Amino acid sequence: MKKTIFILSFLMICLSAEAQKKRKNAKVSIEVDGVCMMCKKRIEKAALNTKGVKFALWNVKTHMLSLIIDERKTDVKTIQKNIAAVGHDTKGIRAKDHVYNSIDPCCKYRDKKVVDNHKNEKQ
């Protein structure tokens, strides 16, 4: 009986450890602020330049960045830091003001007038 309990306990520990391993390819989505195709290019490039990111696609309308990442090599926080480093805010990390101010005037997503102008262009 003790031997059976020991074997079952050992199997449970092994299974839980296996379940906690990070996946090779995980689908992740994060919200990233931006307004135009220039923003799209900058955001996707910053994401793809992060080691472990295999796919990145940012939607201008929804502001959602869809990713496929190798969780063994990167995590969402690292990707958010790299996106903030090129001037774009995410839910978790805000871009530093001097970096945001260096992006093209067309891409100033914090400026209500710029956002409204982009909305008017799409109509």
Q: How confident is the model over 31-63, as pLDDT tens digits?
A: 999 999 999 999 999 999 999 999 999 999 999
Residue 9 pLDDT exceeds 70: no
pTM of the model: 0.79
Residue 118 banded pLDDT, cuts 50, 70, 90: confident
Residue 90 pLDDT exceeds 80: yes
Domain residue extents for the chain: 22-122
Q: How far apart are CA 66 and CA 27, in angstroms?
A: 7
For the chain, state the CA radius of gyration.
20
Q: How far apart are CA 64 and CA 71, in angstroms?
A: 19
Architecture of domain 22-122: 2-Layer Sandwich (3.30)
State the SS3 of the chain.
CHHHHHHHHHHHHHHHHHHHCCCCCEEEEEEECCCCHHHHHHHHHHHHCCCCEEEEEECCCCCEEEEEECCCCCCHHHHHHHHHCCCCCECCCCCCHHHHHCCCHHHCCCCHHHHHHHHHHHC
Residue 45 makes CB contacts below 8 A (sequence gap 6+) with 86
